[in-house]
Amino acid sequence: MEVTDSLNFGHKDRKDIYEYIESHGTVREDEVRRALNFEPAALGAHLTILRRDGYIRKVGKHVEVAYAPEKEQTVELDGLDVTIRMAQNVDLESLVEAIHEVADEGRYIEAETVADVLDHEEVVLRHNDVSSRMVFVATVDEKLAGWVHLDLPEAEKLSHTAVLTVGTRPEYRGHGIGSRLLEQGVEWARDHGFEKLYNSVPATNEGAIEFLEAHGWETEAVREGHYKIDGEYVDEVMMAVTLR
């Protein structure tokens, strides 16, 4: 199942089961049964249908949302072997740590929000009736070096847009990893029918603004004094790129 697929369960109980699994990541079947107060036979029947329809998959005694795997690739960037792949729940801790490491530099407020949401929800990928998200990570020697996050609204009037955040840990900068992650995010969004991407940064983050501009992004709006950083009011620069 793609994170952009329509959700249609045909039964309230199956919707409840999917939503529980989707919000908890990988969970044991007996946990689902106890949490939702199902008889074993009834739960088994609903899980069978959800698996048949491609919504969930079974992993041992656990179940999880059956997100379609994205192609993993390893590229050489400035002497480093960098693997770009779809993020998984096992990446959660290091992903949150990496995003906070970048956000704590004080110049990427949206990334800080992403890290807080991931840390609170304890689930990497999401797909429900309210919102969805896709995350790719870059790893070097199996250490998470950077990420690109796409917030995908489900509201019909916004469904052609997405908000992208991207970042690279300081020790991995200067090798082109950020550019490759940005390209991955943009390519994925274009392939899945999105028409426009947004990214907002403080005006003081000149490096991020120059980075995005170098990749074809433009300033669409400026909100004066939107941020307060270290006691100083800082403008928010709202940047965008059109994919069509």
pLDDT by residue (tens digit) across 91-126? 999 999 999 999 887 678 888 899 999 999 999 999
Q: Which pLDDT tens digit goes with each residue over 117-151? A: 999 999 999 999 988 999 999 999 999 999 999 99
According to CATH, what is the number of the domain 73-242? 3.40.630.30
pLDDT at 155: 61
Q: Residue 109 contacts by C-beta under 8 Å, 6 or more apart in sequence? A: 103, 200, 201, 202, 227, 236
Share of the chain above pLDDT 90, in %: 84
Q: What is the Cα–Cα distance from 131 to 110, expressed in whole angstroms?
A: 16
Q: What residue ranges do the domains of the chain occupy?
A: 3-65, 73-242
Cα atoms in the Cβ-side hemisphere of radius 13 Å centred on 139:
15
pTM of the model: 0.93
What is the H or E stretch that residue 146 is in?
A: strand 143-153
User: How is residue 122 annotated by DSSP?
Assistant: -
Tell me how far apart the alpha carbons of residues 195 and 89 are, in angstroms, rounded to a whole number: 28
Q: Give the pLDDT score at 157.
A: 55
Q: Is the pLDDT of residue 40 over 90?
A: yes
Q: Which fold has domain 3-65?
A: Arc Repressor Mutant, subunit A (1.10.10)
How far apart, in whole angstroms, are the C-alpha atoms of residue 147 and residue 139?
9
